[in-house]
Chain A
Amino acid sequence: MIKIEKRNDVPMALYFFTPFIAIILTILGGGIIFYILGFNPIEALKFYFITPISNLYGFSELLLKATPLCLIAIGLSFCFKSNNWNIGAEGQLTFGAIVGGGVALLFYNQEGFYILPLVIIAGAIGGMIFALIPAILKTYFNTNEILVSLMLVYVSKLLLDYLVVGPWSNPEGFNFPETRQFSDSSRMPLLFEGLRIHAGIFLALAAVMLSWFVLYKTYLGFQIKVSGLSLKTAKYAGFKGKTMILVVFMISGACAGLAGVGEITGPIGQLHRMISPDYGFTAIIVAFLGRLNPFGIIFASLVVALTYLGAETAQIFLQIPKYTGQVFQGMILFFLLASDYLLFFKVKILNLKKNELRH
């Protein structure tokens, strides 16, 4: 008979080490999949994990993809730490991009240093407003934030669809589903000539520092921590539960909105249907792989960004669909959850006594 028991004390060091185990297992699992598909696993994994970052351009692409993942995951960590399950960061990203993009389009034929900050702030506010919907419904109408935030993703995506084919479509665009190009004043400055990496990375790094400060050094962070561990205690201590739910959703939405605005003012330069390859959903994996710790999230966003790049390289060199990236992301989450289970619980195999076998 197998018995599963909770472990009483889990060492902190091991808690931060298991994500590495999950990553190693994911690479092994990927090798097995490649082998089954008929590729040389070592070579395929090299294409997947090493080739993409073997030159400067590749490295810049890695940082480019890690930037939105890191930003969104930082925001999500506020929600997840306080037991609020915001699954709709993708929607908040999209809505932030719509609002920020709308402002950028207003200034499409103008120049000025003030335009980019306006666009960025508008994007953050857009994400914040969109995240407030599930938060208000949760606090005042007792709805489930998982369902509401998830369903709102589709609302914002369809709204974006409508805007780019309808009212906001480029008048000179031959009916392609896209808006005008933003003016240069609405674009993130590039950091290096010839590379796509842009100033948005500083937003992500600022978010990391700020979130570390808020989570570990402020009363708000303390309340978030206590509510995440025990809602009963938070109530007993007299924390304003409703206000806190609204605040963490607003922080989370603002970060997702910033990520959205970073994409459209960075590499994309306009609005169209495909502004995010599901960064908002993938960032959930990033948040947990980084243990909801600001610095852990930096590391996790780099690892997960690599699966995006690897998938693209694999598509070019191995002719396999780039959706293998999602397979790898899924495996990371799966192995992380599995190793967490073994971290928090121990499995005991009990010997059956003879008299028990007789029944």
Chain B
Amino acid sequence: MATDLRISNISKIYPGCIANDNVSLQFKSGKIYALLGENGAGKSTLVKILSGVVSPDNGEVFLNEKNLKLSSPLDAKKNKIGMVFQHFNLFETLSVFENLSIDATEDNESLRVRVNEILKKYNFSIDLDVPVLNLSAGQKQKVEIIRCLLRSPKVLIMDEPTSVLTEQETEELFISLKKFCDEGILIIYITHKLKEVLSLCDEVAVMRKGKVVSVSQTQNERVETLANKMVGQKLAKIKKKINISKNKDEIFKVKHLNFYSDDPFETNLVNLNFSVKKGECLGIAGISGNGQNELFQILSGEIITPDTSIIFRNKEIAKLNPKQRREYLMAFSPEDRISQAAVPELKIYENVALNNFKSSNFFEKGLVNEKKIKEHSKKILSDFSVNTDNVELKSQFLSGGNLQKLILGRELITAPELLICYNPTWGLDVGAINYIHETLIKINDQEKSTILISTDTEELLKLSDRIAVIYKGKLSKIMPSEEVTPEKLGVLMGGGSID
């Protein structure tokens, strides 16, 4: 029987952001559909609504013209909607079979028979009696898929399934998905990888800022056209005048940066080499999860990698921890401002004391100099127009914008020669974004350098002098930003290549 899934006028508003804005889409079985978009485009929210994790504020979902009430993941299961999330929901210490039997409704013997049938039919080779922790990421994903198949789903939703897979595993996955599709299962494939859309899917819906901006047949699309739709025609550049002349000194130089991790959810970095000149802003673009986290932590000294060389102001600093690097006048603004850059339970002045550089005298002879820290905090609050003058306030009561101003203020008060920031305006309102952007431009005007790691292409084009793209832990060629177009960025971020 054919399946017909219709999403009608779905809206979901979170405080300060419209995640889904009147989204309507139609899917029919026998095809593989791609849902494509940048970070924050609204894909995940839509998927969460379909799987019952989140309830929409408005709109309806119809399966074969039946109006579905999806108020919990259980409802989605009952209505034969299966979902494989990017992060697996498996008990690592239980065996594969035990994991499958947890929410099964039949006895173990008939379950085993059915599981074996599925294994045979799709040519999956998985030992049912080994603990899940011994499986590769690809095999774990197969266990999740089997769990869905046991319920004979009508709809199967895959959320960025290839982010943890090897090339070989990806190929196997595509073969399986095509088989499921032939058997009449409707497949919705969430991704931001352009090539996968073209090689696997029949139809593609592109989302941007919560809206569906285009629905088209993939055969009519190319990597470039999709990239353009995904990234959008960005606003005209308001870039400061390019103030970098060719003969300026290189202040920061990274050579042979490699990082290897056993954790499948971390990205390995492969031989990154780049340098930053005095007064320059180097932008690093990319869809999140392509190695930015790891790169930031290595640059800040939270992770020390062997054999990497980082030269800063003619000194080798690759072995120094973040506190020592600060003494050489580096500053860091991490992505997670709420629980990493600051501690919500601490008061403002205590959060300021986290940047305890030597000349600050915050801690004289190991003792807290509360007066000094508070004076210093007051100065930051007024210099960076944070919306309070009460240094005893716990930082959890600051809005995102004010918290980010406080953090930038704390980092910049030492007049650092290099600021490394990662998604500095993520989740902020327009006013705060403008303030932060102006601040970052001002830094460059004062002949200080910045490295801006960001997933926001608009921001990168506005602020950077040169831009590189990170994809799967590899860095593209570094391009002067006047040669970069949104389309080029989109292609590189989606794993394509340009000449």
Chain A residues with CB under 8 Å of chain B are 216-222, 225-226, 229-230, 232-233, 235-240, 355-356, 359
Contacts and interface: CB of A to CB of B under 8 A. Distances in A.
A219 B360 CA distance: 13
B368 interface: yes
Contact of B332 (A217, A218, A232, A236): A236
A222 B364 CA distance: 13
Interface residues of B, number: 32
Contacts of B345: 229
A285 B150 CA distance: 48
A228 B175 CA distance: 48
A356 B52 CA distance: 13
Contacts of A359: 75, 78
Given A216-B368, A233-B343, A237-B355, 14 more contacts: A218-B366, A219-B366, A220-B366, A222-B353, A229-B346, A233-B341, A233-B354, A235-B302, A235-B322, A236-B341, A238-B321, A238-B323, A238-B326, A355-B69
Nearest to B370: A217
Top-8 shortest CB links A-B: A238-B323, A238-B322, A219-B363, A237-B354, A232-B340, A238-B321, A229-B343, A219-B366
A317 to B, nearest CB: 47
A217 B355 CA distance: 17
A223 B353 CA distance: 10
Interface of B: 69, 71, 75, 78, 300-302, 321-326, 332, 334, 336, 339-343, 345-346, 350, 353-356, 363, 366-368
A217 B367 contact: yes
Nearest to A213: B367
Nearest to A235: B302
B340 A233 contact: yes
B418 to A, nearest CB: 16
A27 to B, nearest CB: 32
17 contacts: A217-B368, A218-B363, A219-B356, A222-B368, A226-B343, A229-B343, A229-B345, A230-B339, A233-B339, A233-B341, A236-B300, A236-B322, A237-B323, A238-B301, A238-B321, A238-B322, A359-B78
Contacts of A239: 323
Nearest to B321: A238
A169 B437 CA distance: 76
A216 B353 CA distance: 14
A236 B302 contact: yes
A104 B256 CA distance: 60
Contacts of A232: 336, 339-340
Contact of B356 (A216, A221, A230, A237): A237
A252 B117 CA distance: 58
A226 B354 contact: yes
